[in-house]
Amino acid sequence: MCRTPRLPALATRALLALFGLAMFLALPAAATQRVEIDGRFYLVDLPARPQGAALIVALHGGGGDPAQFAASSGLGQAATAAGYAVVFPAGSSRRGAERLLTWNGGYCCGFAARRGVADEAFLKAVIADAQRRFGLDGARVFVTGMSNGSILAETFAAQNPGAVRALAGVSGSMDAARVRVAGPVPVLLIHGTADRMVPYGGGQGSRSATRTDFASVASVLAAFLAAQPGVLAQTERRWETGAGDATAVRVTDWTAGGKARLRLITIEGGAHVWPGGARLSTGKTQGISATAEILRFFDQYR
């Protein structure tokens, strides 16, 4: 267990936060394109030099859509500035609407799950199309998602480990009791302990729009850990966010060969949000950026 370093002064943390925000706002806007595929679509943001770039597949939450998720996460701008290409695929909905979209993550959610939409096949088609169309690196694919999108991202990576370089799931838990992790894949999970939509400890969320009995974060982590070869060294660190409330962040790493094979970021008191995103309903996640943490994790496997 590693020791938590002394916290910097509050004024210093505030200045760093403001500096980070200014840098984020200064990022050049990505030229977003829309691509129609299989009766649906995806949005794509490309880096300045897309040829051979790694690809991030980013899945919106249930009831969201690609444009909403791109705007609220800021992932397109941040990732393209770092040299990644990012695709934001669209889920599905009744009557073919382009809003209030969901994904079939097995036990959740909404229209897509009820109809058994073949979303795994759709993601494979999106990846292949984007790689061919934009000249991207066919071997370096990363997946991430929020909530219902996280459920599908985790499920997709578990079932297709050879096709995914690394996974990052935010505020979502795949059906760990039924989904078999077919092989090792690096995983980052980010989840708040006060999530009332997809509870950190599992079960039905008090504010969930579905009656899903969600898997706990611990069970998802255990499923991916079981697929890892060899012995992993476990370390943990914790810090107060200094964001004007009592929320703290706890980061647990399982490492091998100098890389974090699995990382769990637990946000103590964190709600069902994309931490650091533009659509914060509370101040409890301002001390950490999911987008920055995901890119930092993905960079290890780029």
pLDDT over 70 (residue 127): yes
Among 47-61, 183-197, 233-247, the range scoring the smallest mean pLDDT is 233-247
Ranges of each domain in the chain:
29-299
What local confidence, expressed as pLDDT, does residue 244 receive? 46
Chain centre to alpha carbon of residue 143: 7
Which tokens is 247 given?
């929320």
What local confidence, expressed as pLDDT, does residue 279 receive? 57
Topology of domain 29-299 in CATH is Rossmann fold (3.40.50)
What local confidence, expressed as pLDDT, does residue 281 receive? 46
**Kindly report the CA angle at 33 between 32 and 36, in degrees rounded to 5?**
145
Question: Tens of pLDDT along 155-204?
Answer: 999 999 999 999 999 999 999 999 999 999 999 999 999 999 999 999 99
Please state the pTM of the whole predicted model: 0.88
Nearest-angstrom CA–CA distance, 126 and 121: 9
What local confidence, expressed as pLDDT, does residue 13 receive? 32
pLDDT over 70 (residue 302): yes
